Amino acid sequence: MTVTEYNLCVEQLSDRVYRFALKSLKDEDHSHDIVQDCFEKLWLKKEGIEFTKAKSYLFTSAYNKMVDFWRREKFRGEAEDSEEKYSYEQHHYSGLKPIINKALDKLPEIQRTVLLLRDYEGYDYAEIGKICDLSDSQVKVYIYRARLAMKNYLGSLQAVLG
């Protein structure tokens, strides 16, 4: 990959990688860090990576960084869960986006990741499989389960609101 091609990757893909990380992590600072780390890694390995494979390489790197983040934060989540039980939250209808985001938050990480890659970023099953190191059939199963969980959550929410 040449320097010009690398710069083109930064220009075309940095926002997409950031959106992917932000949707998954819900943390702007960590999402920026992941994007920076991925592009740094791409720069260091630019000689061995073809320009046509850079997009897949970046999303795979971002996914792996997010898995590392989730593993580190796993134990911290238990403390936050106990705080959430006692917090008061007002429920006002503010559009569909927060409801969808809340439904996404309830999904396991792998289901959320494959669903975001498929429905938000437009990847096909084979590309998602490469990024997440899954077979095509595993990707399809995770997407099906994620969509079913989203449908069940949004359907139950409709019954409550309606």
pLDDT digits (tens, 9 = 90+) for 106-148: 888 889 889 888 888 888 899 999 888 899 999 999 999 998 9
Query: What 8-state DSSP symbol labels residue 117?
Result: I
Query: What 8-state DSSP symbol labels residue 135?
Result: -
pTM of the predicted model over 0.75: no
CATH, range 1-89: 1.10.1740
Domain ranges (residues) in the chain: 1-89, 94-162
143 backbone dihedrals φ, ψ, rounded to 5°: -65, -45
Enter the tokens of residue 121: 């970023």
What is the pLDDT at residue 78? 53
pLDDT band at 85 (very low <50, low <70, confident <90, very high): very low
> Whole-angstrom Cα distance, residue 132 to residue 64?
8
Work out the mean pLDDT of the chain and round it to a whole number.
Answer: 81
- Indicate the Cα dihedral angle 142, 147, 151, 154, nearest 10°: 100
CATH architecture, domain defined by 94-162: Orthogonal Bundle (1.10)
